[in-house]
C-alpha cells in the first residue's frame, strides 16, 4: 500500500519577522506543522509489511529540512515540490499542485495530512486536495483503522461523535484538537541528512497546468494585512499594590455606567450607596 | 568540515538536532521539582531517541553523530535539567566512549552495546575520598588471584549516576608501588559480590542526578574486564576527560542560557520606579554581559567539538571551553539572582537553582585549576592555535 | 479537468443573492445561522440583492419559520430522508447543483467544523475562492465581499477578496455578528427544491451521539471574568471563581489554563472556543494574541490586568492595570465584600 503524507513547513512562532502578505519563508527557521506531525505518526502506526510512506510538501528550498526530518522519523521517501512558479499560491492552487504530484507518484492508496496549519489555519488544503484527487474525504480524524481496503475513522465534528467508513483510495485529515508528540530519533536524523535523499520536483515534473498554479491559479487574493485597529482608548493604572487601584477602577467603571459595587451589594442583600 | 570556507553557523542538520533535543526536553522533563527527575520512564524515552549513544556508529546501535551534535544535545537537555544533561554526558563521553576506543570486541558486545541502547547506565569511577584532583594517588587497588581474576578493594566517591548505573569504569592501581604507571581500568558491574553503594549524596545542586559513593571489598572482577592494557589507566582517563569536558562545557552553556532567558522574561515584567527593569541601564548591562559570555562560551564549545570532529588535537580547546563556560555559568547565574532581587534568592522561585547547579561545573571533570595547568602547559609548549 | 468550472476573466454579473447555509444541527449552540442572516441583510442592502437561507436535511421545516423571522427573504428547502445525517459529501453535491442553478453571488457558512470542511470543497468544485474564520465582512467599492480573518499566529488580520470567481464563499466565526430580534410579522418566499439524490456516496457517516457538555452561558453573560496563563495556578483560579460568583459573572479561560486542567473545555474563549460580548469583561493574566482578542471585540468594557506593560492586551482594553493580578484580585475581593 502507498501512503502519502502531505505536510507544510511553518515558521517557529517566535521567528515571525514582520507581517507581509507573502512572508519570506526562506529566511525564517521552519518546523513541521504540528498537526501534520500527527499525520506522519498516523502513517507510521498504520504501516504494515512493505507499505510505503511518502512525505510530500510544497514550499521553498529550505523545506528540505523538514522533509529530511520525516525521513528521520521513518518515512520511506520524501518529495519536495519547489518552483518559483508555485509562489503566491492560495490554498486552491496549492491543493491542485499537490494533487498533480500525487498523480505522478501513482497508485496512491491513502493520503494523510493535518486538518489545518498553525500559521494560516484555514483548513482548506485537506478538503480541496480530496476534491482534486476525487478521493472520499474523512476529516477531523482522531483514530484510523484499516481492514483490507476499508478505512474506518473515529472522529468528532462539532461535538458529534461519528464513525466514517469508506473504501480506499481515500484522504484523511487529523484533528487539530489533540496534538501529539512524535519525535525523530538522533540516529534517524544523522542517516537522513547523510543520505540527503529528498527528491525535488518542479511544475514541469508534475505536468501541472500553468493557469492553475501559483498566483494565476488562485481565486483568492489577500488585499492587505492589518494590525488590528485600536478601537479603544485605554486608561492605564499602574498598580502599587494599594487599595487606590481598586477605588480608581470602581470609579472608572461607574463613569461607564457599570455599577459593579452596587451590583455585588445588591446580590448580597445590601442597599446600594454612592462611592 | 573540509574546503576553504570557514563556517561558524550551525548546519540544517544541527538545527534539527537542537530542535529535537529541545522539544523533547521541554515536553518530557519535569520542571516543577529538582529531585526525582530521572525515572525509568525518562531513561526509556531518552534511549528510544538514541541519546545514550549519540556518537557511536550505527553498527553498535548508536546515532553516529559528530561531537558538535553531542554538545548541542547536552546543552539543550541541560537548559531544562542540568542533572539529566549530566547523566547523558557522563554516560556517553567518559563511560561508554573509553570502551569504544580501547575495548575488545567482547567488551564492546557485552558492555558497550547495552550502554548505547540505554538498557544499562554507565559511570566513571576515578575520584576517591583522598584523591580528587590528585588522581594519580588513588588508593583503590587490585591484586590478581591464581585464576587471573582481579580482587578489588577500595572506595570511590561522588560517582555521577552512581545510584542508577550498573556498568562502572573503575580506575585503580594494579601495581600499587608504581604511581602513575600503575593505574589500570576495569569494567565493573553492579551485580558482583563485594560491591556496595553508599547513600545518595545531599548536594548543593545537580540534585536530580543520583550521585553516591561505591565500595569494593574483595570484589572479584574477571580478567576479560580489563580495559586496554595494564598500566594504561591514566592515559585512558585523560582521553575520556578530554571528551567529557566538551560535554560539561555544553552543560554550563545550557545552564547559563536558561538563566538568561529567565532574566529577560523577568526584566520585561517587573515594574519598579514606574517602569520595567528592562528599561534600566544597569539591568541592560547585566543582560548584555550574560549574552556575550554565553555566545563566546558556546563558540568555544563549537570550536573544541569541531576540532575533534576534524581529527585534530583538541585537548587545549576542550579545557578552555570547560574552564570558560563553567566560569561564565557561575557569573550568569549570579547575575540572574541579582536581577530577580529577593525573588531570586527564594527557593520557591527556581532562579537560585541555576546558581547551585552551575557551581559544580567549575569543580568536576577536572577542577578549573587543573584545566588552567593543562592550558598553560599547552601554550608554553606551543603558543599558536592548533590550526595556525 | 472538465469537472471544474473555471472563473472567467470578467466577473460574472449574473450571480445574485447572498446565501446562508442553515447549520441547523448546531443551531442551539451557536445560532450562527441567524447571526449570518442578519449580517447578510445589511450587506444585501448595499448591493441591492436578496438574502437566501439554505435548509438541507430531513423534516427540518421548523427552521423555515425561524429563518424567516430572523430576516431571510427566501428559504430554499431541500428535504430527503437520506439527508437526515449531515454528510459533507452529499450536502456538497446538493449545494453544487443548487449553486449552478441559482447562481448566488455570496455564500456564507458558520465557522463550525462542518462549515469549514464543506466550504473549501465547494470552492474546489467551482474553482471559487474561500476564506475561513472571518471575524468581519463588508462590501467594497467594487461590490466585492471583503473577508477579514486572523493571520500569522493570530497577530494580524488579513483582508481577503475573490475579485473574479463566483460565488464568493466565506466561513464566519460564531458570535461575531448579532442576530436580529425574532420578527413575528416577517415573511419570506419558500422554495421547495425537489432533488434526485443520485449522487455517489462514498463515505458512510454513522452518528455515535453528541458529547454531553454543560453550557456555562459564557456567550450570554453580562459579566465575564477570564483567566489566562499569568493567572493559571489552582489558588488563583479559586480566587477568580470567588470573584465571578460575587459579580454574578461567568468564568472563562484561555487555552493554557485548560491545558493545566484547571477549568473545563466549555470555558475556553478564543478562536477554537467561544466568542463573547458582555457588558464587562475582566481579563487576568492574559497576554492578548489576536486569536483571543478577536473573540472579545464585542465586549462593552474590558478591564485587563497583566504584569507586562508591553502585553498586547493593553491595546484592546478600556482600563488597563499593570500589576500582579493575584494581589489585585485579593484587594478587589476585599473591597467588594466590605
Q: What is the CATH number of the domain that holds B95?
A: 1.10.540.10
C156-161 and A221-226: which strand pairing? antiparallel
Contacts of A44 in chain B (CB under 8 A): none
For helices B233-269 and B82-90, what crossing angle results, to 10°? 160
Return the partners of chain A (3 or more C-beta pairs < 8 Å): B, C
Contact residues for B195 (Cβ-Cβ < 8 A; gap 6+):
B188, B214, B215, B216, B219
Out of B16, B73, B274, closest to residue A69 by CB: B16
C171 & C22 share domain = yes
B20 & B112 share domain = yes
In angstroms, the separation between the Cα of residue A266 and the nearest Cα of chain B is 37
Count of the separate structural domains present in chain B: 3
B349-364 residue pLDDT tens: 889 999 999 999 999 9
B246 & B373 share domain = yes
Out of A95, A209, A246, closest to residue C335 by CB: A246
Percent of chain A at pLDDT above 70?
89
Out of A16, A220, A221, closest to residue C155 by CB: A16
A142-171 residue pLDDT tens: 999 999 999 999 999 988 999 999 999 999
Asked if B63 and A238 come within 8 Å (Cβ–Cβ), the reply is no
| CA dihedral sign of residues C237, C238, C241, C246 | negative
Name the strands in the sheet holding C156-161, side by side, starting at the edge strand that comes first in the sequence. Answer: A221-226, C156-161, C145-151, C136-139
Asked if C303 reaches chain B (Cβ–Cβ under 8 Å), the answer is no
CA distance B52 to A30: 27
C144 & C254 share domain = no
Query: Which of these ranges, A55-69, A244-258, B156-170, C21-35, has the smallest mean pLDDT?
Result: C21-35
B211 & B221 share domain = yes
List the CATH number of the domain containing B261: 1.20.140.10
Asked if B268 and C310 come within 8 Å (Cβ–Cβ), the reply is yes
Average pLDDT over residues B88-106: 98
Closest-CA residue of chain B to C311: B269
User: Which of C175, C192, C209 marks a domain boundary?
Assistant: C192
Closest-CA residue of chain B to C307: B269
How far apart, in Å, are the Cα atoms of B255 and each of A163, B75, B292, C162?
49, 8, 15, 52
* Mean of all residue pLDDT scores within chain B: 94
Out of C125, C130, C303, closest to residue A131 by CB: C125
Which residue blocks in chain A are alpha helix, DSSP H?
Answer: 34-46, 64-73, 91-105, 125-133, 186-195, 243-255, 260-267
Asked if C203 reaches chain A (Cβ–Cβ under 8 Å), the answer is yes
Find out whether the peptide bond into A169 is cis, omega within 30 degrees of 0: yes
> Does residue B128 carry a catalytic annotation?
no
Is residue B197 within a helix (H) or strand (E), and if so which, with residue range? Answer: strand B195-200
Asked if A124 and C133 come within 8 Å (Cβ–Cβ), the reply is no
pLDDT of amino acid C154: 58
Asked if B26 reaches chain C (Cβ–Cβ under 8 Å), the answer is no
CA distance B340 to C311: 20
Closest-CA residue of chain A to C122: A128
Instruction: Write out the residue range of the structural domain in which residue C84 sits.
Output: 2-192
Contacts of C136 in chain A (CB under 8 A): none
C25 & C143 share domain = yes
Contacts of A68 in chain B (CB under 8 A): 12-13, 16
B255 & B225 share domain = no
Asked if A190 and B63 come within 8 Å (Cβ–Cβ), the reply is yes
B17-75 residue pLDDT tens: 999 999 999 989 988 889 899 999 999 999 999 999 999 999 999 999 999 999 999 99
Contacts of A187 in chain B (CB under 8 A): 50, 58, 62-64
C30 & C168 share domain = yes
> Which residue out of B76, B128, B201, B365 is catalytically annotated?
B365
Contacts of C309 in chain B (CB under 8 A): 271, 275-276
User: Looking at per-residue confidence, does B199 or C4 come out higher?
Assistant: B199
Return the partners of chain B (3 or more C-beta pairs < 8 Å): A, C
pLDDT of amino acid A269: 59
User: Which of C192, C227, C245 marks a domain boundary?
Assistant: C192
pLDDT of amino acid B2: 53
For helices A64-73 and B12-28, what crossing angle results, to 10°? 60
B32 & B108 share domain = yes
Closest-CA residue of chain C to A222: C160
Which pLDDT band holds residue A39 (cuts at 50, 70, 90)?
very high
List the CATH number of the domain containing C256: 3.40.50.1220
Is the pLDDT confidence value at A22 over 90?
no
For chain C, 338 residues long, give each residue's pLDDT as a single digit of tens.
Answer: 223 344 444 567 789 999 999 999 987 656 889 999 999 999 999 999 999 999 999 999 889 999 999 999 999 999 999 999 999 999 999 999 999 999 999 999 998 899 999 999 999 999 999 999 898 999 998 889 999 988 765 567 889 999 989 999 999 987 778 888 999 999 999 999 998 888 889 999 999 988 765 556 788 788 999 999 889 888 899 999 999 988 888 999 998 888 788 888 788 898 667 888 888 999 999 988 766 887 888 788 899 999 988 888 888 899 999 999 999 999 999 988 88
Contact residues for C100 (Cβ-Cβ < 8 A; gap 6+):
none
pLDDT of amino acid C316: 82
Return the partners of chain C (3 or more C-beta pairs < 8 Å): A, B
Count of the separate structural domains present in chain C: 2
Contacts of C207 in chain A (CB under 8 A): 160-162
Could you tell me if C284 and C227 are in contact, meaning their C-beta atoms sit under 8 angstroms apart? yes
In a domain, C213, yes or no: no
Closest-CA residue of chain A to C272: A177
User: Which of B55, B89, B121 marks a domain boundary?
Assistant: B121
CA distance A77 to A70: 9
pTM of the model: 0.84
C143 & C288 share domain = no
Asked if B269 and C323 come within 8 Å (Cβ–Cβ), the reply is no
CA distance A185 to B9: 23
In a domain, B7, yes or no: no
Out of A121, A160, A260, closest to residue C247 by CB: A260
In angstroms, the separation between the Cα of residue B80 and the nearest Cα of chain C is 19
B240 & B371 share domain = yes
CA angle B171, B55, B26 (to 5 degrees): 100
Q: Three-state SS for B317?
A: helix
List the CATH number of the domain containing C114: 3.40.50.620
- Residue A253: name the closest of C284, C176, C332, C175 by CA: C332
Range A73-76 contact pairs with CB under 8 angstroms and sequence separation of 24 or more: A73/A40, A73/A41, A73/A44, A73/A182, A73/A183, A73/A184, A73/A185, A73/A188, A74/A44, A74/A188, A75/A5, A75/A40, A75/A43, A75/A44, A76/A52
pLDDT of amino acid B380: 96
pLDDT of amino acid A271: 41
Could you tell me if B271 and B28 are in contact, meaning their C-beta atoms sit under 8 angstroms apart? no
Asked if C117 and A138 come within 8 Å (Cβ–Cβ), the reply is no
C263 & C162 share domain = no
List the CATH number of the domain containing B212: 2.40.110.10
Contacts of B50 in chain A (CB under 8 A): 185-187
In a domain, C143, yes or no: yes
In b/e form, how buried is each residue of A245-273, taking b as 16+ CB within 10 angstroms?
bbebbbebbeeeebebbbbbbeeeeeeee
Instruction: Write out the residue range of the structural domain in which residue B334 sits.
Output: 234-381
Contacts of C322 in chain B (CB under 8 A): 271
Centroid of chain to Cα A218 = 19
User: Which of C136, C157, C192 marks a domain boundary?
Assistant: C192
Amino acid at each position: 500500500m502507498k501512503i502519502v503524507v502531505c505536510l507544510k513547513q511553518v515558521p517557529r512562532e517566535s521567528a515571525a519577522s514582520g507581517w507581509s502578505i507573502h512572508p519570506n519563508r526562506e529566511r525564517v527557521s521552519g518546523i513541521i506543522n504540528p498537526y501534520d506531525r500527527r499525520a506522519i505518526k498516523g502513517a507510521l502506526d498504520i504501516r504494515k509489511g512493505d507499505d510505503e510512506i511518502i512525505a510530500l510538501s510544497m514550499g521553498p528550498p529550505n523545506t528540505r529540512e523538514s522533509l529530511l526530518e520525516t525521513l528521520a522519523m521513518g518515512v520511506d521517501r520524501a518529495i519536495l515540490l519547489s518552483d518559483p512558479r508555485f509562489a503566491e499560491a492560495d490554498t486552491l492552487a496549492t491543493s491542485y499542485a499537490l494533487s498533480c504530484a500525487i498523480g505522478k507518484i501513482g497508485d496512491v492508496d491513502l493520503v494523510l495530512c493535518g486538518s489545518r496549519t498553525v500559521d494560516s489555519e484555514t483548513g482548506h488544503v485537506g478538503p480541496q486536495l480530496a476534491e482534486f484527487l476525487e478521493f472520499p474525504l474523512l476529516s477531523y480524524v482522531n483514530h484510523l483503522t484499516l481492514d483490507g481496503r476499508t478505512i474506518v475513522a473515529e472522529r468528532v465534528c462539532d461535538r458529534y461523535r461519528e464513525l466514517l467508513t469508506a473504501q480506499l483510495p481515500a484522504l484523511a485529515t487529523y484533528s487539530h484538537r489533540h496534538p501529539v508528540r512524535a519525535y525523530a530519533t538522533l540516529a534517524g536524523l544523522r542517516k537522513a541528512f547523510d543520505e540527503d535523499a529528498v527528491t525535488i520536483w518542479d511544475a514541469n515534473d508534475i505536468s501541472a497546468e500553468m493557469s492553475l498554479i501559483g498566483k494565476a491559479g488562485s481565486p483568492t487574493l489577500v488585499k492587505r494585512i492589518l494590525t488590528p485597529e485600536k478601537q479603544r482608548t485605554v486608561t492605564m493604572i499602574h498598580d502599587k499594590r494599594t487599595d487606590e487601584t481598586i477605588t480608581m477602577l470602581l470609579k472608572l467603571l461607574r463613569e461607564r455606567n457599570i455599577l459593579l459595587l452596587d451590583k455585588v451589594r445588591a446580590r448580597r442583600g445590601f442597599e446600594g450607596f454612592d462611592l | 568540515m573540509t574546503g576553504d570556507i570557514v563556517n561558524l553557523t550551525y548546519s540544517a542538520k544541527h538545527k534539527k538536532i537542537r530542535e529535537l533535543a529541545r522539544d523533547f526536553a521541554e515536553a518530557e522533563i519535569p520542571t516543577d521539582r529538582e529531585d526525582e527527575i530521572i525515572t525509568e520512564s525518562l531513561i526509556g524515552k531518552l534511549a528510544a531517541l538514541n541519546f545514550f549513544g549519540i556518537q557511536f556508529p550505527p553498527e553498535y546501535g548508536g546515532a553516529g553523530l559528530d561531537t558538535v551534535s553531542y554538545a548541542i544535545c547536552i546543552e539543550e537537555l541541560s537548559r531544562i535539567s542540568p542533572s539529566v544533561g549530566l547523566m547523558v554526558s557522563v554516560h556517553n563521553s567518559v563511560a561508554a566512549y573509553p570502551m569504544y576506543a580501547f575495548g575488545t570486541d567482547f567488551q564492546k558486545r557485552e558492555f558497550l552495546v547495552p550502554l548505547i541502547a540505554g538498557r544499562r547506565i554507565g559511570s566513571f569511577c576515578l575520584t576517591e575520598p583522598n584523591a580528587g584532583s590528585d588522581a594519580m594517588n588513588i588508593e583503590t587497588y587490585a591484586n590478581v588471584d591464581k585464576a587471573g581474576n582481579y580482587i578489588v578493594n577500595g572506595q570511590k566517591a561522588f560517582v555521577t549516576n552512581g545510584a542508577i548505573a550498573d556498568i562502572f569504569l573503575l580506575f585503580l592501581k594494579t601495581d600499587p608501588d608504581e604511581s602513575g604507571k600503575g593505574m589500570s581500568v576495569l569494567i565493573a558491574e553492579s551485580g558482583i559480590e563485594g560491591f556496595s553503594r553508599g547513600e545518595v549524596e545531599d548536594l548543593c545542586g545537580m540534585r536530580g542526578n543520583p550521585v553516591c559513593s561505591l565500595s569494593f571489598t574483595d570484589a572479584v572482577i574477571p580478567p576479560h574486564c580489563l580495559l586496554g592494557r595494564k598500566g594504561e589507566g591514566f592515559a585512558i582517563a585523560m582521553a575520556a576527560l578530554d571528551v567529557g569536558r566538551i560535554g560539561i562545557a555544553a552543560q554550563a552553556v545550557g545552564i547559563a542560557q536558561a538563566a538568561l532567558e529567565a532574566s529577560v522574561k523577568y526584566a520585561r515584567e517587573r515594574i519598579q520606579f514606574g517602569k520595567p527593569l528592562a528599561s534600566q541601564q544597569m539591568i541592560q548591562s547585566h543582560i548584555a554581559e550574560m549574552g556575550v559570555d554565553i555566545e563566546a562560551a558556546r563558540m568555544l564549545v563549537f570550536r573544541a567539538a569541531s576540532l575533534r570532529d576534524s581529527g585534530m588535537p583538541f585537548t587545549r580547546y576542550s579545557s578552555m571551553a570547560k574552564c570558560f563556560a563553567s566560569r561564565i555559568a557561575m557569573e550568569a547565574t549570579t547575575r540572574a539572582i541579582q536581577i530577580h532581587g529577593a525573588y531570586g534568592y527564594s527557593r520557591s522561585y527556581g532562579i537560585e537553582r541555576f546558581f547551585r547547579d552551575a557551581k559544580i561545573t567549575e569543580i568536576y571533570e577536572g577542577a578549573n585549576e587543573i584545566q588552567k595547568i593543562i592550558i598553560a602547559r599547552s601554550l608554553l609548549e606551543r603558543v599558536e592555535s592548533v590550526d595556525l | 479537468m472538465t469537472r471544474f468550472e473555471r472563473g472567467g476573466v470578467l466577473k460574472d454579473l449574473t450571480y445574485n443573492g447572498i446565501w446562508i447555509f442553515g447549520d441547523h444541527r448546531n443551531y442551539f449552540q451557536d445560532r450562527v445561522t441567524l447571526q449570518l442572516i442578519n449580517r447578510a441583510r445589511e450587506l444585501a442592502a448595499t448591493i441591492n440583492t436578496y438574502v437566501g437561507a439554505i435548509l438541507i436535511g430531513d423534516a427540518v421545516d421548523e427552521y423555515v419559520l425561524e429563518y424567516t423571522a430572523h430576516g431571510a427573504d427566501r428559504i430554499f428547502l431541500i428535504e430527503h430522508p437520506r439527508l437526515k445525517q449531515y454528510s459533507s459529501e452529499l450536502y456538497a453535491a446538493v449545494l453544487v447543483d443548487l449553486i449552478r442553478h441559482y447562481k448566488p453571488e455570496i455564500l456564507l457558512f458558520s465557522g463550525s467544523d462542518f462549515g469549514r470542511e464543506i466550504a473549501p470543497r465547494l470552492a474546489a468544485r467551482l474553482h471559487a475562492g474561500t476564506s475561513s474564520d472571518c471575524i468581519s465582512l463588508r462590501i467594497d467599492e467594487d461590490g466585492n465581499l471583503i473577508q477579514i480573518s486572523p493571520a500569522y499566529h493570530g497577530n494580524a488580520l488579513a483582508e481577503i477578496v475573490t475579485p473574479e470567481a463566483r460565488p464568493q464563499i466565506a466561513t464566519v466565526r460564531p458570535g461575531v455578528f448579532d442576530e436580529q430580534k425574532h420578527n413575528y410579522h416577517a415573511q419570506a418566499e419558500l422554495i421547495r427544491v425537489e432533488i434526485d439524490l443520485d449522487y455517489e456516496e462514498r463515505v458512510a457517516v454513522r452518528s455515535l451521539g453528541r458529547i454531553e457538555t454543560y453550557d456555562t452561558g459564557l456567550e450570554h453573560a453580562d459579566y465575564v471574568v477570564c483567566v489566562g496563563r499569568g493567572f493559571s495556578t489552582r489558588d488563583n483560579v479559586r480566587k477568580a471563581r470567588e470573584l465571578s460568583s460575587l459579580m454574578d459573572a461567568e468564568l472563562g479561560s484561555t487555552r493554557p489554563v485548560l491545558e493545566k486542567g484547571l477549568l473545563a473545555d466549555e470555558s475556553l474563549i478564543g478562536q477554537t472556543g467561544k466568542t463573547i460580548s458582555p457588558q464587562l469583561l475582566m481579563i487576568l493574566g492574559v497576554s492578548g494574541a489576536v486569536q483571543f482578542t478577536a473573540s472579545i471585540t464585542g465586549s462593552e468594557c474590558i478591564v485587563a490586568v497583566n504584569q507586562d506593560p508591553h502585553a498586547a492586551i493593553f491595546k484592546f482594553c478600556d482600563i488597563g492595570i499593570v500589576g500582579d493580578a493575584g494581589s489585585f484580585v485579593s484587594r478587589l475581593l476585599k473591597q467588594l465584600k466590605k
